[in-house]
Amino acid sequence: MSSINCFRTAKAPLQTFASVSRFRYSPNRLVSVLRRKSSPSFVTLRAVSSMAYEKELDAAKKAASLAARLCQKVQKALLQSDVQSKSDKSPVTVADYGSQAVVSIVLERELTSEPFSLVAEEDSADLRKDGSEDLLERITKLVNDTLATEDLTKAIDSTLTTDDLLRAIDCGTSEGGPNGRHWVLDPIDGTKGGDQYAVALGLLEEGKVVLGVLACPNLPLTSIAGNKNKNSSSSEETGCLFYATIGSGTYMQPLDSKSEPVKVHVSSVENPEEASFFESFEGAHSLHDLSSSIANKLGVKAPPVRIDSQAKYGALSRGDGAIYLRFPHKGYREKIWDHVAGAIVVTEAGGIVTDAGGKPLDFSKGKYLDLDTGIIVANEKLMPLLLKAVRDSIAEQEKASSL
């Protein structure tokens, strides 16, 4: 295959794009919205910046969709032997490796003029160990079969060898940082406690998130509001693709079709008593007692919706819930790939994403986030009330601990 150009950065030229028809998401109807061309002299810097990412967005949507297709294949026949151990105890499956390889290869293929840096969850160290040959062969076959569905094996001149696969996975070992462009990938986010997961791919430029795509194979196309546990998919139609670029809003479309995207927006609820909130299904990612205290202070009446993976960011972006609370146990370090894509999907849909102290998430410091206690998400109206409830609840817990 052609060599993959890792760890260098490049900037794309600004592009123009024609007027396009879009639809605004509503549970009951789709409202056509026409985005009109603007005179260049009246376009804000933020809007001009968003125009630069049309090519990158197309590549990211293709990469995430193909990776999700591979994950769906693996999910149906995932064997216990496919799970490797890792020092941080998070699961690593053939889907992790295969998804990361697919994304790396597709980005390299679609953005051939732009060598790229990829910050991702996996590396090939375990696959290079003795005894991993059968697993490596299986992953290589899965990746080749997935790429063949889009004729990408022809585009890269030949089918991938195991060495090609290892190199593609290791393209994700960039450290990121505040300078240049860095793609950020969680190849399969959410594999504990249920079957909700997402392929989450974002793009940082000079430390700021400018693009995000979430492929959520098991997330229903209809709202999950009112369901206590949507970490398991039901018989209803599932599979959502969410995407956003800076200054352009957030859109959703079915993952496995070419249907027109719909523009989505976060919940407009202003009264916290009417709000519903999301929290992580997995206990390690959320202090449920603290979340319950915050909800009580706000007067929230609905029970929490527990759902893992960045699929929750997608669900929040279309208004399925109004609040998201994430308070990991002490000592847990948040990784940027767990939030980059989801954060822009929510913020471009009108939401606010901060740490527990109200500070925006800073993705410019490498692979890890430096946070004040946890992560909270809400709309503009609810955020001041939420921040006060968070501060008061944390202070109460700290006082109780000291006594």
Cα gap 176→375, rounded to integer Å: 21
What pLDDT is recorded for position 329? 85
Residues 345-355 as b or e (16 or more Cβ within 10 Å = b): bbbbbbbbbbb
* Predicted confidence band of residue 285 (pLDDT cuts 50, 70, 90): low
Point out the least confidently predicted range of 13-22, 42-51, 221-230.
13-22
The residue count of the chain comes to 403
**Within a 10 A sphere around the Cβ of 369, how many other Cβ atoms?**
18
User: Does residue 21 surpass a pLDDT of 90?
Assistant: no
Task: Over range 134-144, report the average pLDDT.
Answer: 93
123 and 191 in contact (C-beta within 8 Å)?
no
**What is the value of pTM for the model shown?**
0.85
Closest to 201 (Cα-Cα) out of 19, 18, 71: 71
Contact residues for 69 (Cβ-Cβ < 8 A; gap 6+): 146, 149
The more confident residue out of 280 and 237 is 237
User: Does residue 15 surpass a pLDDT of 50?
Assistant: no
Task: Over range 208-220, report the average pLDDT.
Answer: 97
Point out the least confidently predicted range of 46-50, 61-65, 162-166, 190-194.
46-50
Cα gap 254→218, rounded to integer Å: 11
* Cα angle 8-13-17, degrees, rounded to a multiple of 5: 135
Element (H, E) at 168: helix 162-169
- Bridging pattern class, strands 250-254 and 238-245: antiparallel
Cα gap 226→319, rounded to integer Å: 12
Cα gap 162→186, rounded to integer Å: 22
Q: Give Cα separations from 9 to 114, 182, 183, 283 (angstroms).
A: 7, 7, 10, 38
What pLDDT is recorded for position 372? 82
Contact residues for 121 (Cβ-Cβ < 8 A; gap 6+): 96, 100, 172, 185, 186, 187, 335, 337
pLDDT tens for residues 262-272? 999 999 999 99
State the catalytic residues: 96, 191
* Predicted confidence band of residue 112 (pLDDT cuts 50, 70, 90): confident
